[in-house]
C-alpha cells in the first residue's frame, strides 16, 4: 500500500522513495504536488487515505471554526484550480478537477454540523443506517401524526416551532456525545434526528 511508504502531514512532506510520475523527483510541496515540475499526483491514489479533516489540516473534532474553514477552503481551491494547470498536459487539468471536486465535497460536509457529526461517526466505524436500530414506537407514531397534520395544513406554525426546538436540542446532545466520545449515543440520536429533519423539510413545503 502507498500509505505504508509515505509519511506526511498535508503541508509538510517527509522524503520517501516515492517519486513524481513526470520528472522522477522525490521533492514535493505536499503529498499532491511535485516540488520540481509542479505536476499533480494521481488523485485516485492520493485521496484514498485522506479524510476531510486531514485535508483541511484539522483534528477530528465536532467543533470547527467557521472562519478558518472558509479561508482554508479558498486556499485549497486556489492551489488546485484547473486554471493553474492550463499550460501543462491535459492530464493535470483532469487531476485538478478531481481534487477540486473532493475539496468541495469535504467543505460541504465539514461546514454542516449534522453532516460533520455523521462523518465523524463514520470514521469511528458507525455508518448511519436508519433500519439498523429499532426506534421508539411512540416517537414514530408522533412523527406520523405530525406529518399528517402538516399535509392537511393544520397547526403548521406550532408544529414547526416545536420541531425546531427538538432539532436544536438533539443537535446539542450530539455535539456533547461526540465531544465525550460517546459515539453510540450520538449515532442513535442522529437516527431520530433524521425524522425530525424530514418533518422540517415537509413543513417548509407548506409554509
The reported pLDDT for the residue numbered 89 is: 87
Q: Give 2-111's CATH code, choosing from 2.30.30.90, 2.115.10.20, 1.10.3720.10, 1.10.287.110.
A: 1.10.287.110
Residue-range domain boundaries for the chain: 2-111, 130-206
Q: What 3-state class would DSSP assign to 3?
A: helix
pLDDT tops 70 at residue 186: yes
Tens-place pLDDT, residues 76-135: 999 999 898 888 889 999 999 999 999 999 999 999 999 999 999 999 999 877 655 678
Kindly write down the DSSP assignment for every residue of 46-78, as one continuous string.
Answer: HTTT--HHHHTT--S-S---HHHHHHHHHHHHH
The reply to whether domains 2-111 and 130-206 share a CATH topology is no
pLDDT confidence of 26, banded at 50, 70, 90? confident
Rg (CA), the chain: 22
> Please, which pLDDT band fits residue 162 given cuts at 50, 70 and 90?
very high
pLDDT above 70 for 199: yes
Stretch 16-39: mean pLDDT: 75
With 0.95 as the threshold, say if the pTM is over it. Answer: no
18 pLDDT band (50/70/90 cuts)?
Answer: low
CA-based nearest residue to 170, from 109, 124, 118: 118
Residue for grid cell 475539496: 103
Q: Spell out the CATH class of 130-206.
A: mainly alpha
Nearest to 182 by CA among 120, 128, 134: 120
Amino acid at each position: 500500500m502507498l500509505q505504508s511508504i509515505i509519511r506526511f502531514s498535508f503541508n509538510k512532506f517527509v522524503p520517501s522513495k516515492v517519486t513524481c510520475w513526470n520528472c522522477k523527483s522525490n521533492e514535493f510541496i505536499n503529498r499532491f504536488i511535485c516540488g520540481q515540475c509542479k505536476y499533480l499526483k494521481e488523485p485516485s491514489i492520493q485521496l484514498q487515505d485522506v479524510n476531510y479533516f486531514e485535508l483541511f489540516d484539522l483534528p477530528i473534532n465536532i467543533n470547527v471554526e467557521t472562519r478558518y474553514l472558509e479561508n482554508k477552503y479558498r486556499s485549497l481551491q486556489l492551489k488546485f484550480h484547473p486554471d493553474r494547470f492550463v499550460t501543462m498536459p491535459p492530464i493535470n487539468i483532469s487531476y485538478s478537477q478531481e481534487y477540486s471536486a473532493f475539496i468541495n465535497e469535504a467543505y460541504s460536509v465539514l461546514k454542516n454540523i449534522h453532516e460533520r457529526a455523521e462523518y465523524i461517526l463514520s470514521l469511528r466505524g458507525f455508518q448511519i443506517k436508519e433500519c439498523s436500530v429499532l426506534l421508539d414506537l411512540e416517537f414514530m407514531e408522533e412523527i406520523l401524526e405530525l406529518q399528517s397534520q402538516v399535509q392537511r395544513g393544520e397547526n403548521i406554525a406550532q408544529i414547526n416551532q416545536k420541531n425546531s426546538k427538538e432539532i436544536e436540542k438533539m443537535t446539542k446532545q450530539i455535539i456533547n456525545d461526540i465531544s465525550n466520545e460517546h459515539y453510540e449515543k450520538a449515532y442513535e440520536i442522529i437516527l431520530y434526528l433524521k425524522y425530525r429533519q424530514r418533518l422540517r423539510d415537509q413543513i417548509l413545503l407548506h409554509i
